[in-house]
Amino acid sequence: MPIEQTYLMVKPDGVQRGLCGEILSRFENKGLKIVAMKFMVIRKDVAENHYGEHKGKGFYDSLISYIISGPVLAMVLEGDNAVAVCRNMMGKTNPQDSAPGTIRGDFGMVTGMNLIHGSDSPASAAREISIFFKPEELITYKRTADDWIYE
């Protein structure tokens, strides 16, 4: 599989519950590399752009209100098949359907407060990364641990 980048965001409920460190450490422990990260409150226009595919759905307005309600931890992670790996680690959208050991399975209770967002494809990752990060904010570096993670 190719090395790829993905966009992840610890949502306001994850930040408010003090889970940023726990969530981030799971991805780092897996072997994914942080290439960008910022703590921010999302502006409404940015949230509407990010969740544009949901416009017109019944949950859209509450989703926008929720995601701009407090700070989030936005990040770009890189690794072999990063999008799929992160999606598996996050668990299903509904935490009650998520397996134990996943982020949502271990810490979430309901879909509306499911702690984390992650890109669902390499194409959406590229789009989402461009919404939250400028190209110069993505850091390229050699991590010595990669020699012990990848063949």
Q: What is the pLDDT of residues 31-40, one digit of tens each?
A: 999 999 999 9
Catalytic residues, which ones?
Answer: 117
Q: Which amino acid is at 95?
A: P
Residue 84's pLDDT is what?
97
Does the residue 126 lie in any domain? yes
Does the residue 95 lie in any domain? yes
Residue 146's pLDDT is what?
92
Structure-block tokens of residue 70: 């407090």
**Average pLDDT for the chain:** 96
Does the residue 62 lie in any domain? yes
pLDDT surpasses 60 at 132: yes
Q: What CATH number corresponds to the domain at position 102?
A: 3.30.70.141
Please tell me the distance from the alpha carbon of residue 56 to that of residue 10, in angstroms, as a whole number. 24
Helix (H, G, I), strand (E, B) or coil at 133: coil
Q: Which domain holds residue 118?
A: 3-142
Residues 46-76 have pLDDT tens digits of 999 999 989 999 999 999 999 999 999 999 9
Contact 103, 116 (CB under 8 A): yes
CA distances for 82 relative to 27, 58, 112, angstroms = 10, 31, 25
Contact 20, 73 (CB under 8 A): yes
**Phi, psi for 24 (deg, rounded to 5):** -60, -40
Helix (H, G, I), strand (E, B) or coil at 71: coil
Mean pLDDT of 130-151: 95
